[in-house]
Chains A and B, each alone.
Chain A
């Protein structure tokens, strides 16, 4: 129960901090998506197998609070989490430098993929507008770089928070197993 409350609190905190705080002060289209950073942190800290159901819940609650169709964020987060897990198994994430590069790659990929999913489910005429969408996305290259730098800074804090909580949960679970 305690573990459940801890994880659900993180999810709500991330969503409210994103929707009602960060998006209101991070202006000029340099928006950082904390949920993407949370997915990366969770998969790195605990692994896909342990955390996938929470990622589905994070996607579901994102769709609820963003007042949009239920589904796009679930699809995006679960597929993104799988990809992170798939890629990080083939590279050694524990090594400081390669781990750092990999995290940067995940953040970049998460932002691009997230925006693409948002476009895909926005009801736009995909075949007619995909080219202008992609062109416009990369025209704002300063915003793109700015967003990813902000995201890197935010990732440090999110990862620390999630890593600590996950370690605490792991300790609790191992204590419970030993007492049984």
Chain B
């Protein structure tokens, strides 16, 4: 004799699925945001402990694997240091000249960012180039939509969600991201989109514009909340797509997103 439908496993699965769909349809984000902030807030010390242990384990692994290379690297660094010292002297002279010229022409100094440094404490489980969790949040002045950079000028993403002491950063390589950009040399403008962890594509470039392999791509003025001039990447391959309205290009980001440990949030731009 078959069992009653309500006592079957499939009945439980169906009920759970219906309730979950209703919750998702009714209020996907806000209903649970209080609960989420509470859970993330009280467990932040534990999460930070796990993240710092991961950093130590990772550094230890890297140190072990690089023992053989250290001697050669040291010799190269000494040579590079000498070269940089010479270059530094030249640069100091150029900088002085630059300030004088800017004063004469009445040009404002380049943008200076008000940065908040943050430590990566969590990462997506399905795609390493999708998002990370950082240890700075509302309490530190971080807000939704702020740009996140590394090395004082390489754009890596935007703040997607903010909690009291942490925030979620969505990488530019995520499929949901669209950033207005321009090529430095040719001035071609387009939109950069994520390509499922395989890098970035520059799309919507007019056929009349020119794209060159090796040209640097930076954020343009049109990007909302993103300062102009942040480096996005370098053009690796151009797809002219002659029969389409727009050209495309594959952009290679200058950094490896999976190896990031620290990032900077641009809180505002001081002119």
Residues of A within 8 A of B (CB): 12, 16-25, 27-29, 31, 33, 35, 48-49, 52, 56, 61, 64-67, 69-72, 74-75, 78-79, 82, 85-86, 114-115, 118, 122-124, 129, 132-133, 136-137, 139-140
Given A67-B168, A136-B195; A27-B29 close (CB under 8 Å):
no
Which chain B residue lies CB-closest to A136? B196
Query: A20 CA to B43 CA in the complex, in Å?
Result: 11
Contacts A16-B46, A19-B123; is A133 near B196 (CB within 8 Å)? yes
Interface of B is mostly: helix
Which of A20, A124, A137 has most chain B Cβ within 10 Å? A20
User: Hey, which chain A residues are within 8 Å of B20, CB to CB?
Assistant: 71, 74-75, 78
Chain A minimum-CB-distance residue to B36: A64
| Cβ of B78 to closest chain A Cβ, rounded Å | 30
Q: Say whether chain A's binding surface is mostly helix, strand, loop, or mixed.
A: helix
Q: Which of A29, A52, A69 contacts B12 (CB 8 A)?
A: A52
Q: Whose C-beta in chain B lies nearest to the C-beta of A118? A: B126
Q: Are B39 and A139 in contact (CB under 8 A)?
A: no
Compute how far the CA of A74 lies from the CA of B28 in the bound complex, rounded to whole angstroms.
13
CA distance A115 to B258 in the complex (A): 18
The answer to whether A67 and B35 touch across the interface, beta carbons within 8 angstroms, is no
Given A27-B258, A124-B175, residue A20 in contact with residue B28 (CB < 8 A):
no
Q: Collect the chain A residues with CB atoms within 8 Å of residue B16's CB.
A: 52, 56, 74-75, 78
Q: A28-B128, A132-B196 are in contact. Are A122 and B54 (CB under 8 A)?
A: no
B23, B126, B160, B176: the one within 8 Å of A70 (CB): B23
CB pair A21–B53 under 8 Å, yes or no, is yes
In the complex the two chains form, is B28's CB within 8 Å of A67's CB?
Answer: no
| Chain A residues, Cβ within 8 Å of B197 | 29, 136, 140
Between-chain CB contacts (< 8 Å), 8 pairs:
A20-B122, A23-B125, A24-B55, A31-B127, A70-B32, A71-B20, A82-B9, A140-B197
- Determine the distance from Cα of A31 to Cα of B122 in the docked complex, in whole angstroms: 13
Closest to B198 in A: A136
Contacts of B12 in A (CB 8 A): 52
- A49–B7 CA distance with the chains assembled, in angstroms: 10
B262 interface contact, C-beta 8 A = no
**CB-based contact B29/A129 at 8 Å:** no
Task: Say yes or no: A25-B198 contact (C-beta < 8 A), given A67-B133, A78-B17, A122-B175.
Answer: no
Q: In the bound complex, do residue B32 and residue A123 qualify as a contact, i.e. CB atoms below 8 Å apart?
A: no
Q: Which residues of B contact A52 (CB under 8 A)?
A: 9, 12-13, 16
Give the residues from 1 to 25 in chain B that come closer than 8 angstroms, CB to CB, to chain A: 9-10, 12-13, 16-17, 20-21, 23-24
Q: Are A71 and B47 in contact (CB under 8 A)?
A: no
Give the nearest-CB partner of A125 in chain B.
Answer: B175
- Chain A positions within 8 Å of B209 at CB level: none
Closest to B15 in A: A78
**B9 contact set on A, CB distance < 8 A:** 48-49, 52, 82, 85-86
Contact in complex: A20, B121 (CB < 8 Å)? yes
Task: Name 14 extra pairs, CB < 8 A, besides A64-B32, A82-B10, A115-B126.
Answer: A19-B123, A19-B125, A20-B48, A25-B58, A67-B40, A71-B24, A71-B28, A78-B17, A78-B20, A79-B17, A82-B13, A85-B9, A118-B126, A139-B198
